[in-house]
Structure 1
Amino acid sequence: MSEESIPDIKKVVNKSNIRIIGNIQPGEVYRIGCSIEKAVEILYEAFSRKISALIKSREKAIEIHKRALKLPYVFFALLDGEIIGIAGLHYSNQSFLEFRYTDIRKSFNPFKSVFYYFVFRMVVPKIGKDVIRIDSLAVDVHFRGNGVGTMLIEEVCEFARKNGFREVMLEVVDTNPRAKALYERLGFVQKKVKKYYFLTRSAGFSSESIMSRQIEANT
């Protein structure tokens, strides 16, 4: 997925002050210590071109993503009690975003609600039972370049190892070569390329690379 052009306003932080937490179960929201709405805003800002190609209203897009967020399938990067990054996962037939028709209907008319419901269901690929897929990785614009994305990925890979998964996969669009280079440095290799040509032009890309990192068995 491609990221929007953003102001070059960066904050340099000590990585030792960044805390990664994930796999938050029902009733454990207190572990985050702040509103999850910030995570949804970070997600939207990172992928606004792709999201807005489908949903024009920023407010409505954030609303339905907030309702769809499933905490057990999210890893958060926290700094001083503030969310600065998010990794949304997909594994065991579950995804970090679950778009229910009843939730979508709160923001759209019946026709659009049915349309969005089926579109959201179609965009989640089938994966193996021993695979964790990083569906979305996003870092607050002000904290990019501090290794937050790397920390999130490594934490996900460690979670995969501890829980018996053998592979972590992700997708990266052709218009985001910097992200692809990062994933390659972290041990991901390209498995195949999916071409969409003009179908996804409005979303800012025409193809995406499917990348994979093998996870050693827990001994």
Structure 2
Amino acid sequence: MGANVAIGRGVPRGAEERVAELYWEAFGRKLGVALGPPEQGRAFIAGHLHHDRAAVARVPGGDRVVGVAGYRLDGRALTGGGVRDVLRAYGLLRGLPRLAALALLERTPTPGELVMDGIAVDPAHRGAGIGSLLLTEIAAVAAGHGCSRVRLDVIDVNPRARALYERHGFRAVRTEQTPYLRGLMGFGAVTTMHRAVTAHPGTTSEQQR
């Protein structure tokens, strides 16, 4: 499972556009409301990444990124960009509603908690266990930072992702109905899931190499 990829931490320099492409492919319906149109949204993501807030899967040799799992910790997430950045990129009239949409997607960790932003895997490499490897790496990151749990949100129209999370020990703790977002972002409910972090949550990237 995942034998042909290497798992590491941090977005490699030069892979920003590739990571933005993967994120947009996976979450474009949701992100498009805040950062669209697609070309401009991908450029904004690529230009405001926090490189150290991700686990990545790469094909050995070519080093092409084929999977990424972003997370929020200590006030920073993989996808960055503040109010001024949004207004500078989109202008005042177009930027203000985008800031409101981004606020709907904001998830702030509680003390001792790492929040996952989501997993994005190249369609050509799905089914190879990359998502599982990335989840294991994220748990190792959380343990290394002394976190007691990992938190994530999964939408009702993504049952495959929820099944993956459940296989990795995540348990649903609450579901928020969001019918007002169905027409806007394509989903009508968000389930928050937690996974407790142990001192040795799994194999880390150093052990895999």
TM bucket (normalised to shorter chain) is 0.7 to 0.9
1:38 maps onto 2:18 in alignment? yes
Structure 1 match to 2:196: 214
For 2:149, the aligned partner's letter is: E
Identical-residue share of aligned pairs (%)? 25
List aligned pairs for 1:1-219, cutoff 5 A. 15-22=2-9, 24=10, 32=12, 34-80=14-60, 81-217=63-199
Report if aligned partners of 1:34, 1:83 keep a CA contact under 8 Å in 2.
no
Structure 2 match to 1:3: none
- Runs of 5+ in structure 2 lacking a partner? 201-209
Paired with 2:125 and 2:36, the residues of 1 have a C-alpha distance of 26
Task: Indicate the larger mover: 205-214 or 191-200.
Answer: 191-200
> Runs ≥4 in structure 1, deviation > 6 angstroms?
none
Report if aligned partners of 2:26, 2:120 keep a CA contact under 8 Å in 1.
yes
Deviation sequence 1:13-65 (CA, Å, 0-9, x none): x623311111x4xxxx7xx3652211110100111111223444111111111
Count the aligned residue pairs: 198
Report deviation, 1:157. 0.3
For 1:83, the aligned partner's letter is: V
Alpha-carbon RMSD: 1.9
Structure 2 match to 1:11: none
Paired with 2:152 and 2:105, the residues of 1 have a C-alpha distance of 14
Report if aligned partners of 2:181, 2:187 keep a CA contact under 8 Å in 1.
no
Report deviation, 1:216. 1.8
Report if aligned partners of 1:188, 1:213 keep a CA contact under 8 Å in 2.
yes
Report deviation, 1:106. 4.5
Report if aligned partners of 2:50, 2:76 keep a CA contact under 8 Å in 1.
no
For 1:127, the aligned partner's letter is: P
SS in 1 for 2:133: helix
Report if aligned partners of 1:172, 1:180 keep a CA contact under 8 Å in 2.
yes
Report if aligned partners of 1:105, 1:113 keep a CA contact under 8 Å in 2.
yes
Structure 2 match to 1:9: none
SS in 2 for 1:16: coil
Paired with 2:155 and 2:186, the residues of 1 have a C-alpha distance of 9
Task: Indicate the larger mover: 125-134 or 39-48.
Answer: 125-134
Paired with 1:40 and 1:178, the residues of 2 have a C-alpha distance of 22
Report deviation, 1:112. 1.5
Change (3 A) 1:121 1:203: closer
- Runs of 5+ in structure 1 lacking a partner? 1-13
For 1:205, the aligned partner's letter is: F
